[in-house]
Structure 1
Amino acid sequence: MSPTHRVATIQLHPIPLSPAKNFAKASAFIRSAVAQGAELCVLPEYHLTNWLPADPAFRDACSDWAVWLAKYQALAKELAVCIVPGTIVERHVSGEGTGEGMGADVMYNVCYFIGRQGEIVGKYVKKNLWGAIERDHLESSTHAPHEVFDTPIGKVGLLICWDLAFPEAFRELIAAGAKTIIIPTFWTLFDCSLEGLKLNPKAEALFLDSMLTARTFENTCAIIFANAGGPPQKGYAGLSQVVIPYVGPIARLGSSAEGMAVIDLDLGILEDAEENYKVRADLARQDWHYDYRHTKREKGRL
């Protein structure tokens, strides 16, 4: 396997509650990226619907999740490219047609890694939900372990948006062998408090740039980060980027406009960084003094 892979991070402005139009835009970007040699294309969180959970039409749109997943699988197979279609919110209703009422009606924010033949290589349900804004509408994967997947670009871990704030998520993936972390995101400048915005109107941009670079150094990993873009007056943060140790962002988009970066990701740099910092080596030691894995719950140590 070559240590260098051509990857694309795609920054979309999701048209509210318009999955067909958003899919068409995403498909056009993916086709352009493949024409530039991309092996992997990554889209933002909520890219099919935007985030409008209080609108009844949002829940209805999320009922069609399997339709859009199948379309991305077909596109990946047609173009022979790997696709991480941002996140797709899945609505699951149990008890329908049983005579027992509607039963549970829950939604999950899900990230998939789709292989070049259209196969599902990996799946991750968002664990760290952003306050009541998400917790009132979505179900978390809670104590399910973070999984690592073997992909054409090596061992990959999937995280979503606010997961970025938790170093434990990264440590668990790195301990399981991940070399590249993919993070679809819908992160705006207005996620900051009013007090924080008074101190620094671009505090969230500082948060993103600082954390993304820090995570690559402290885990000797690469990060492919795809955020939503859009009108700056609505607070869209953008800043989609591909980040590695030593360098930081090797590609970084602007703060709001739609766009795409297609870049060569040299995974050999990760091995040099690991040889220097030995983070993964320490995590692999049997006597290592930190434990970030959920096995401690099984041992009754929580």
Structure 2
Amino acid sequence: MITIGTVAANFTRDLEQNYATIEQYVAEARTQGVDFLVFPEAAIGGYLSSLGNHGDTQKNSTRSLPPAISLDGPEIARVQSIVGDLVVAIGFCELGEDGETRYNTAAVLDGNRIYGSYRKVHQPLGENMSYSSGTGYDVFDTPVGRIGLQICYDKAFPEAARIMALKGAEIIASLSAWPAARTATAENLQDDRWTYRFNLFDTARALENQVFWVAANQSGTFGSLRYVGNAKIVDPGGNILDTTLLGSGMAVAEVDIAESFTAMRAGMFHLRDRRPEVYGMLVEADTDPDTSADFAWRDLAHA
């Protein structure tokens, strides 16, 4: 048995405030016996202040970009000093090996070791004006299990979670700075269409891959973005074990990975029952995604 916690909280450019928030939730996690704690995307230094045509960019607005930090830098070391023996997933803006390129990154670590890191692959609404894209998905062996990492918009792509499940991920941590809709926002954000999508993706990705899905998200506001919270833990059957809903806070659940996998996968085991030989272009490398997608839509329209 392990206990999983996941956080909805607000993180800004104020690093000392970020560290204080991390300390707060680490202390709370310890009182509840949490073994693995997930913080949101951009928990060290905050996310972009806006997206789309008015988003932060290196050319236009370098002062508003989050600080770019190295995996072996003092910021990560500060987090490690806070978490101690607690295994944590956390998001930040990573400075690339060339000293210039930025990545939207998540790492899984404890006080003594960085078990692995992931650079966000899928970038929405002009995010690529501020970050370079990652190139793949790995899974990492940790004291609490085999963990996969993804960030925010990645959850809209089933291939991202599926490849980690095929690599043996038992837990997928999905770190987000997921906002409410930019237009026609619902008066109650829990009813907002982007909140609905966030929650639907979480349960669908857990169920289709039969893994534990741990979603963290920013809450509150930053710049023009209003975040929807809803940090949650989902079991391999797609059941939400605990959630923060809109507010800041921590969702917690005790899980038995081996027992749950045995129960959920004893009959219909989705990974075993795949038929990749009939999936066609879904499993073939595509050198021109835009053209391929265009042809696919034309084929469907004339089917």
Same topology, TM > 0.5: yes
2:117 aligned with 1:123, yes or no? Answer: yes
CA contact (8 A) 1:222 1:243 kept: yes
- The gaps in structure 2 that reach 5 residues or longer are 50-55, 293-303
Identity of aligned residues (%): 22
CA contact (8 A) 1:113 1:121 kept: yes
Match of 2:242 among 251, 265, 271: 251
- Matches for 1:50-89 after TM superposition, within 5 Å: 50-51=46-47, 52=49, 53-54=56-57, 55-59=61-65, 61-63=67-69, 66-76=73-83, 78=84, 80-85=85-90, 87-89=91-93
TM-score by length of 1: 0.80
- Matches for 1:27-106 after TM superposition, within 5 Å: 27-51=23-47, 52=49, 53-54=56-57, 55-59=61-65, 61-63=67-69, 66-76=73-83, 78=84, 80-85=85-90, 87-92=91-96, 94=98, 105-106=100-101
- Matches for 1:209-220 after TM superposition, within 5 Å: 209-220=199-210
SS in 1 for 2:102: strand
- Aligned counterparts of 1:179 and 1:151: Cα–Cα separation in 2: 11
Instruction: Give 1:111's aligned residue.
Output: 106
Code of the residue aligned with 2:172 in structure 1: it is: I
CA contact (8 A) 2:204 2:238 kept: no
TM-score by length of 2: 0.80
SS in 2 for 1:188: coil
Residue 107 of structure 1: how far off its partner (Å): 0.7
Residue 179 of structure 1: how far off its partner (Å): 1.7
* Cα deviation digits, residues 96-147 of structure 1 (max 9, x gap): xxxxxxxx732101110104x5201111000001121x11110001xx3311
Query: 1:272/1:124 Cα in 2 relative to 1: closer, same or farther (>3 Å)?
Result: same
CA contact (8 A) 1:108 1:140 kept: yes
- Aligned counterparts of 2:154 and 2:233: Cα–Cα separation in 1: 17
- Matches for 1:1-302 after TM superposition, within 5 Å: 4-14=1-11, 16-51=12-47, 52=49, 53-54=56-57, 55-59=61-65, 61-63=67-69, 66-76=73-83, 78=84, 80-85=85-90, 87-92=91-96, 94=98, 105-115=100-110, 117-132=111-126, 134-141=127-134, 144-190=135-181, 192=182, 194=183, 202-230=192-220, 235-246=226-237, 248-255=239-246, 257-267=247-257, 268-283=259-274, 289-290=278-279
CA contact (8 A) 2:87 2:144 kept: no
- Aligned counterparts of 1:125 and 1:292: Cα–Cα separation in 2: 25
SS in 1 for 2:112: coil
- Aligned counterparts of 1:177 and 1:93: Cα–Cα separation in 2: 29
CA contact (8 A) 1:222 1:270 kept: no
SS in 1 for 2:271: helix
